[in-house]
Structure 1
């Protein structure tokens, strides 16, 4: 499973790494709503939450479906500007001005992304102008609670006032906590943008994509960028470009904006180099399957304590050597086995560190 970005005919100068205050504010709101997704930021989230005005905290709940579930495309509005060449603003105010430039239909469809998504990757009826689509959106919103239903009703009946409410809310968040946060984070993001730009200029797209994430690769033969995610999606740069937008608050989320008609955008987390890159979805599946077998689970109990030869495992578990070899092969293919030679014997041992990471790897894989 993966998201594919067709880059056929894309010129290098149309691939742009750039910071976005609004995108980072969106991720800040997500982190405050779902601190469990970001264990490394819980101290920051706790500090901000403790200092929030109660009225602002209550307003934060009114439209939290725009950022709690994942991350609304409204926080990347420049991608929806006609011409597919707009860039984020240098300030939050400039980004919010770009948000104001989206049509009401674009704004409503992006805001209802998590309750009405059948046409996300393809042209389809707009919830604001198609009665059936709008009615379906309200039905789905009702199933998610009265707050989401109320906001969705306001959105469909009076888009201008709802847009004004959202802009004012985001400006109030900036005054309350985000301006300070952005002043501390923007330098790191700007440094990453310079690094990506330098890689694109001197090393090429393949190396730049690897630098974005080990889950992103360039398939030159097919003319596409492939993002390893637990989901499917397709988009194309066509006559537009590709935006690379870094986030300091976003790990482990690697977002790919692939909304139909919008400029493809990679919203990726900036972090220090990892000693061990996260496994691909395929590797993660192999590891979960390898450990789920009851015989291999019993073998892992032995292998976690010491190194064994195939013959020793066969005697310990009352199995034939070929049977043991098949189970060891499955563990090795999944990257969970350490093997070393001692004279004419081959010793196998469980990679305890890899198994210990499996919980966090699984969580990162499904949140990516």
Structure 2
């Protein structure tokens, strides 16, 4: 499983690395609403939440579905502008002006994306134009609770009023905590974007993407960018740009905006994952290999000391060929190491790799 982006014919000048203050604000709201996704930021989230004005905290709770699961495309308005070649604004005020340029239909779609499961990669009538879609949206919002139903109803009845409400919410978040964050991380993100743009200019797109994450790669023969994620999807840049937005708060998330008619955008964390982090395929192999009852018994021995195939066969009451097949599965998954000592070949569990499985699993499913 992976997200594939067709960039056939995309020239380097239509690839842009640029920080986005609005995207970073959206990520900060995500961390505040679900700090378990970001253990290293729990202290920061607790201190900011404790200092929030009660009115602001209440307003944030009314729309937290826009950023709790992941942050909505409402935080990337540049991607929705005609031509699909706009870039993020340099300031939060500039980005809010870009948000104002989205049509009411676009704003409603991105605001109801998570609540109402509106179509993401296809063009269909929206709830402002279709009475059937409007009824369905309200029904799905109601299933999520009274707060989300009230928000959806307000949005469908008066989109401009909700946009004004959202603009005020963003402004108050900036005053309450985000301005300090941006003063600290903005220069870091700008430096990362400059470094990646220079690498793109000197070494090409493949090298620039490799510097973004080990989970991102370009097949130059087919013109396809692969983002290693636990989902399957396809997108194409077409005549638009490919935008890459760094975030200092986003690890382990690696998010692809591939909304129909919008510019393809990849938001990536500037903090790299630990060396040796497995791909989704490798993670699946490791968990499947360890789940088998016979291989679990083998691991009990292999975790303690090196064993030969014959020793394991004797210990488990199985034939050496049977043991060899199970060892082959474990070795392919990368959870055991094999070494030769004189005439003997010994196998032992890679305890460091197995110990990281919990962390690797969480990063894999959240990526």
Q: Show the counterpart of 2:288.
A: 289
- Please report the TM-score for the alignment, with normalisation by the length of structure 2: 0.98
Shift in Å, 1:115: 2.8
Deviating above 4 A after TM superposition, structure 1's stretches of 4 or more consecutive aligned residues are: none
Residues in 2 aligned to 1:273 and 1:186: alpha-carbon distance in whole angstroms: 21
1:260-316 alpha-carbon deviations (Å, 9 max, x no partner) = 00000000011157332x211111111111011011111111111111111111111
- Name stretches of at least 5 consecutive residues in structure 2 with no aligned partner: none
The residue number in structure 2 matching 1:201 is: 201
Secondary structure of 1:19 counterpart: coil
CA contact (8 A) 1:121 1:233 kept: no
Following superposition, the deviation at residue 351 of structure 1 comes to 0.9
Deviation at 1:43, TM superposition (A): 1.1
After TM superposition, the structure 1 = structure 2 runs for residues 1-368 of structure 1, keeping only pairs within 5 Å, are 1-272=1-272, 274-276=274-276, 278-368=277-367
How many positions carry a matched residue from both structures? Answer: 367
Alpha-carbon distance in 2 for matches of 1:363, 1:273: 12
TM superposition shift of 1:340: 1.3
Structure 1 CA distance for aligned equivalents of residues 139 and 299 of structure 2: 49
Residue ranges of structure 1 left out of the alignment (5+ in a row): none
CA distance in 1 between partners of 2:226 and 2:149 (Å): 36
In 2, Cα distance between the equivalents of 1:116 and 1:207?
39
Q: The residue matched to 2:99 in structure 1 has which SS? A: helix
CA distance, structure 2, for counterparts of residue 232 and residue 258 of structure 1: 12
Q: CA deviation at 1:157?
A: 0.7
Matched residue of 1:114: which SS? helix
**Does the CA-based 8 Å contact 2:213-2:272 persist in structure 1?**
no
CA contact (8 A) 1:121 1:234 kept: no
Measured after TM superposition, the shift of residue 352 of structure 1 is: 1.0
Shift of 1:119: 2.2
Asked if the contact 2:115–2:148 (Cα under 8 Å) also holds between the matched residues in 1, the reply is no
Give distance in 2, aligned partners of 1:132 and 1:259.
22
Normalization by structure 1: what TM-score?
0.98
